[in-house]
Structure 1
């Protein structure tokens, strides 16, 4: 039951996700387009940020040229630094994605002829010598698209099924091919940063106009649910082409990514594809190239670590990019970070910080206090090159396990080699990362020669990869304790599992919750044996919250140091109680708000999966509807009054790359660029959740966008009353000043609790 004051405030919620009484009524299939999508390519126009006659700010000396990036236009050098310092675009990536409209020589000559580098002169130069970003790619039809894929049969309720089918249709909007007619090629007529690909692929969306490495894992997972095996094959073929050409898979499909990779998930994509499609023929080409990738990581990213706990020496892996200049796609951001340090850094320290920044991007977590020596010093203290990450080593462990399985009895020598490599990595992971008293995995700090004791969602990667410590296998109590932070999040917060519990403004920290991590947490739970996940979720003592169930020191924070969950109570904006039983404001009877309906006989492992899967669905669907999404006869479009709150009157719904774990209506926030919509891995995770948990997904309850900070409500924009799903809940617009919300004009907070308590 909710506290009385919160239960009363719960009545403020008007908008249910279904906005309809037909939650269990059958409807016809959603109409989906299968033709070539009509897309509007971004062609940003350079805009001066000062008077056009003003001189550009003075520049620091140029960084060294980067051997891996020789372009005199798009890599570190006078032209790129000048354009970056002019700050002509909101996103640094825009400029380096613009092909030139002339030959390289002509562009460089025009740049040299700028006698007075004013804002106006640089604007004119960019406008005259460069074309629109993204023009090298073209939207294409999606072959073999079935509007009614079989996995939809797994989804019981009408709204979740209709939304899953709608998201399935989004693949048709994200399919791209290289546009050969616009490529610069070797003709010399122009220059571009695009790495042309030979096969069709799915773009993540937004600013990410090319194929990306680790994004593709979750895109592939979704494509597999959609049975779009030819696109999965094309994706893998593109990666194999890159392995043949470069010896590794770069971060993304641009030349400025050629000094770094990303979490090495190619082998796992390959395994998932082969298992789902039965196409073992691809292994003839793939296995030698998979070996090539593993060799690259071993040569370039391995390090020997002697354990301070056992004195054993392990070969482990870290992210470590060689780089001494700003990243071209984030030039001004890196330039500003490095040159704003006080006291000023010398050249050696600048080079090291540039390398650390690029390495952070290689990890995929750019950026997070997880890798900071001193969180209060921000990016200046990033120390990822001296960190041995638990997630990277877990991924590589699983890669070796899968390679051994691929070879099987056909090549026992190779299979045994990979089994030995996997076993050695497993030993290192358990020795260096596992804390048996706190029941959690932590990164290992080379700087301090110790575990860093910084808790993050990375603690679940070993379970996902198949490594379960003996202490967890011992009994259900220990197993639950290792996963008790999930229970805390579901009871305390409105959304899904955050990357960390530190609110820093970095996009891989709280309150941001990323779809790939929800997938990993769910799979970590799925990996646990059933004999240790039986029994109900434990109940904390009556004077404590679910924080009391977490092993001492596991989170590295006291309960009152955890991020607060903003709520609205009465006529004032207040923060949720930060300790004690009232901190669990989403707690219900055998479930949580927007956590679905408790199932007969489910153990705590299944219950946490069911609750988190429902929250994933809720976050994605509610934020999509809040930005204009609708489904005919199932999910009405919100009123213009409501959509004005999110500046979405002309929009048709956004699938965001990240979400707020404080507000199921909102995207995440922070980082070097504005939140992106599209979005490949979000689509993939949603479809995977629908396929695997569709039978226990209830219709979400989305907070009313028109709830105001004064506690008054407006029903004029509501389209109906609550739907019939049993899970219900709300959210808060995170941050009273709007700084934590994607929807900055909207400062209202909404309550995270049950609307219909009796149904929980």
Structure 2
């Protein structure tokens, strides 16, 4: 049994990822010799030391107190005396993940095949409780894993492993927390303001810090947890650690909530990781040390400095931004020659070096590789598949037809077949390259803001590199005929034709093609799919328009993309956005306004919009646009005379996002005491929410406004960090334009799609019958009917609004 120090693990990770060994900062290296003995995020068989990073003064002290963290109980899917299924060959050992307990190997594979938990991540988040890692491995060896029973594996896990997530402490914010941050004054609708204020309070249930008393040191116990020195916000649900790209939208919300020290702590944690590893891992577990995520740290840093004017953080941060940029240049860059201009560009891609199932999704990846209904794969093919699956996780879009060789190869139910067709490493993703364009630009700006004159040469270099990336994106990814950005596929040496929300990233990053700056028809054409969604569907903007069963495809709509789309809309100048919203031809729908070929799908192939439990709206023609009535978007805010098309879409999308978040919260038990009564138990029972008090879901639906999203490797999660962050940001930016939405009655949806009844949402409000043809969104309240599913909303609170002082 080998013994590895924390420093040795860091060096192993760097070696496996081809990181320069000199990446350890002087402060960290020096500290190793007199390190504070702390916990190890390393392998199950390690004895570790953790060097304290450079001390940094936070903006404000945090007053906290611990609360409990719940854990999952093992629930085998077979009888206790049932023998486990026969096992397929083990994958190769992974140099970056040496644990014999938590990384790819016999123990992890056996426990996963026992299927003790619905989510494979549960097991690898459990620290051991045996006297040593060696004792755990000896206990496992005594089981004879080839003939082990469900009961034996259950007993082994229950005896040798503690509850997942116990290395973390849930905290309650102290005096720094402001229940009524300044931006709430801009939210004029009383119901929306009350709800946003509740969302602002959810930070208190999502903030965490490291529980020093329960951290493993590699001898008394072992864990995958990477200990962090500062408080942070978790996404929620199964995502019980700090995550990389989630944190961007969490930070956006925290800044609106004026929780500056929590933002500072988040950034300090990322800087600690940059010092230790030379990059920011996907999340705060050692099984994420083979990959990163979209590199948004520099953008977070810039937004923090903008909000606080705390330029003192730059002394530590700027060298570490350079280190992250070096990681992407060394490990994720390639050169591509344009087939249209013959120019050669240095560009970025997602490409993870991995040849085994991901520990946190081991059974999922294992089943994808060994699916008996599909052709068998040899070891080389399985290794390639595992690399693609890990690269897909690095994109943040895990998974989407956007990166699949044959987008609809598996249909709606052929997820494994689709995943086997992933081709991520051969793509030049437009979103990644747009982000790194912005990173170069922001880093140059931050050098100038730091007040140092020594960096003039570096600023010039960064500006040149940013301009080169801009040229690459406009050459490789921009399609002036279709008026959209697409990924570039190096396998086919051509643009993909999969249209996705990635098309909006360049404008968010500040790359606006000339065609959009000089022509209002072209400018609208770029955003015409937003108009289609708001007019045709009940929900908000999807990731793609392909229905594949993958969670980053239709019908799912993710909070980050609502934010990015809104920011992209704001990037256009007023000279091309002030004309009214175009109307479709008399015999057509808003699909007719979309540039030819842009979506890559015929109108009849778009996702259907249900209008009852048994029927859908028309897929084509004038009957398809059921969510625009008399020129006004349902749940799209109040219409304004003479406003330009951009403002109509901004207001519509912001309202539709708030609608999705608020209505799904309301349908799962949310209420506002004294203002908005909780739904009756019969209605809440439809979604199994009788014991809930309102869920903030991680993703939503293009078609339904009162449920979370669906599909993917795990059940939809509640919490939820980036959802809350985008709600608070949207409220701060569009507060005066937000109108209380029209939410459907879950009971009517489930039992009587043709009924016209409604229920009261407040003791002071009275319900009224509503017809699906009387759709309107011109009054405030949840009682106005809309086209959602059955077409019937719960009773309104419009009459109550005037009586309530918020």
Shared fold (TM-score greater than 0.5)?
A: yes
SS for the counterpart of 2:707 is strand
Q: RCO greater where, 1 or 2, for CA within 8 Å and sep 6 or more?
A: 1
SS for the counterpart of 2:633 is coil
Counterpart for residue 20 of structure 1:
none
Equivalent position to 2:484, from 432, 436, 440: 440
Instruction: Mark the CA change 1:276 to 1:716 in structure 2 (over 3 Å): closer, same or farther.
Output: closer
After superposition, residues 196-235 of structure 1 pair within 5 angstroms as 196-235=227-266
Counterpart for residue 145 of structure 1:
177
Is 1:588 the counterpart of 2:619? The answer is no
Deviation, structure 1 residue 590: 3.8
Deviation, structure 1 residue 530: 1.1
Counterpart for residue 349 of structure 2:
318
Residues 587, 753 of structure 1: 8 Å contact kept: no
After superposition, residues 167-178 of structure 1 pair within 5 angstroms as 167-178=199-210
- When normalised by structure 1's length, the TM-score is 0.90
Structure 2 residue ranges without an equivalent (≥5): 1-61, 410-416, 769-776, 797-806
CA offsets per residue over residues 565-624 of structure 1, 9 Å max, x none? 0102xxx72111011111000012343000001234421111100000000110000000
Residues 513, 658 of structure 1: 8 Å contact kept: yes
Residues 669, 693 of structure 2: 8 Å contact kept: yes
- Distance in 2 (CA, whole Å) between partners of 1:444 and 1:752 is 44
Residues 745, 793 of structure 2: 8 Å contact kept: no
Counterpart for residue 82 of structure 2:
54
- Distance in 2 (CA, whole Å) between partners of 1:292 and 1:257 is 19
Residues 242, 283 of structure 2: 8 Å contact kept: yes
Equivalent position to 1:97, from 125, 128, 137: 125
CA offsets per residue over residues 294-315 of structure 1, 9 Å max, x none? 0100000000000111111000
- Distance in 2 (CA, whole Å) between partners of 1:696 and 1:71 is 53
Residues 264, 396 of structure 1: 8 Å contact kept: yes
CA offsets per residue over residues 703-733 of structure 1, 9 Å max, x none? 111213451355467654489428955465x
Instruction: Mark the CA change 1:450 to 1:217 in structure 2 (over 3 Å): closer, same or farther.
Output: same
After superposition, residues 27-106 of structure 1 pair within 5 angstroms as 40-102=68-130, 103-106=132-135
Deviation, structure 1 residue 638: 0.8
- Distance in 2 (CA, whole Å) between partners of 1:474 and 1:287 is 37
SS for the counterpart of 2:706 is strand
Is 1:354 the counterpart of 2:397? The answer is no
- Distance in 1 (CA, whole Å) between partners of 2:198 and 2:628 is 31
Counterpart for residue 10 of structure 2:
none
Residues 335, 346 of structure 2: 8 Å contact kept: yes
SS for the counterpart of 1:221 is helix
Counterpart for residue 139 of structure 2:
110
Counterpart for residue 22 of structure 1:
none
Residues 195, 255 of structure 1: 8 Å contact kept: yes
Instruction: Mark the CA change 1:754 to 1:419 in structure 2 (over 3 Å): closer, same or farther.
Output: farther
- Distance in 1 (CA, whole Å) between partners of 2:160 and 2:785 is 53
CA offsets per residue over residues 153-194 of structure 1, 9 Å max, x none? 1100101111111100000111101000101124x1000000
Equivalent position to 2:737, from 673, 679, 696: 696
Counterpart for residue 392 of structure 1:
432
Is 1:525 the counterpart of 2:590? The answer is no
Residues 586, 729 of structure 1: 8 Å contact kept: no
Deviation, structure 1 residue 36: 5.7
- State the aligned residue count: 703
- Distance in 2 (CA, whole Å) between partners of 1:750 and 1:631 is 25
CA offsets per residue over residues 716-760 of structure 1, 9 Å max, x none? 67654489428955465xxxxxxxxxxxxxxxx42389999xxxx
Counterpart for residue 370 of structure 2:
339
Is 1:135 the counterpart of 2:135? The answer is no
- Distance in 2 (CA, whole Å) between partners of 1:77 and 1:726 is 56
Deviation, structure 1 residue 480: 0.2
Counterpart for residue 4 of structure 1:
none
Equivalent position to 2:747, from 696, 699, 706: 706
Is 1:160 the counterpart of 2:192? The answer is yes
Could you say what the CA RMSD is over the residues aligned between the two structures, in angstroms? 1.8
- Distance in 2 (CA, whole Å) between partners of 1:49 and 1:37 is 38
- Distance in 2 (CA, whole Å) between partners of 1:755 and 1:427 is 54
SS for the counterpart of 2:615 is strand
- Distance in 2 (CA, whole Å) between partners of 1:67 and 1:227 is 42
Counterpart for residue 405 of structure 1:
445
Counterpart for residue 308 of structure 1:
339
Instruction: Mark the CA change 1:369 to 1:498 in structure 2 (over 3 Å): closer, same or farther.
Output: same
CA offsets per residue over residues 205-257 of structure 1, 9 Å max, x none? 00000000000000000000011100000000000000000000000000000
Is 1:464 the counterpart of 2:498? The answer is no
Counterpart for residue 646 of structure 1:
687
Instruction: Mark the CA change 1:357 to 1:70 in structure 2 (over 3 Å): closer, same or farther.
Output: same
Deviation, structure 1 residue 635: 1.5
- Distance in 2 (CA, whole Å) between partners of 1:39 and 1:588 is 49
Per mean C-alpha deviation after superposition, the further-off stretch among 683-692 and 707-716 is: 707-716
- Distance in 1 (CA, whole Å) between partners of 2:516 and 2:232 is 40
Residues 138, 178 of structure 1: 8 Å contact kept: yes
Deviation, structure 1 residue 35: 8.4
After superposition, residues 246-645 of structure 1 pair within 5 angstroms as 246-340=277-371, 342-375=374-407, 376=409, 377-408=417-448, 410=453, 411-568=455-612, 573-645=614-686
Structure 1 residue ranges without an equivalent (≥5): 1-33, 733-748
Residues 36, 172 of structure 1: 8 Å contact kept: no
Deviation, structure 1 residue 48: 2.0
4+ residue segments displaced more than 6 Å: 752-756
Instruction: Mark the CA change 1:44 to 1:606 in structure 2 (over 3 Å): closer, same or farther.
Output: same
Residues 191, 781 of structure 2: 8 Å contact kept: no
- Distance in 1 (CA, whole Å) between partners of 2:126 and 2:705 is 35
Counterpart for residue 24 of structure 1:
none
SS for the counterpart of 2:731 is helix
Instruction: Mark the CA change 1:589 to 1:717 in structure 2 (over 3 Å): closer, same or farther.
Output: closer
Deviation, structure 1 residue 142: 1.6
Residues 204, 679 of structure 1: 8 Å contact kept: yes
SS for the counterpart of 1:458 is helix
Deviation, structure 1 residue 55: 1.2
Instruction: Mark the CA change 1:302 to 1:729 in structure 2 (over 3 Å): closer, same or farther.
Output: farther
After superposition, residues 715-734 of structure 1 pair within 5 angstroms as 715=758, 719=762, 720-721=766-767, 724-725=779-780, 730=786, 732=788
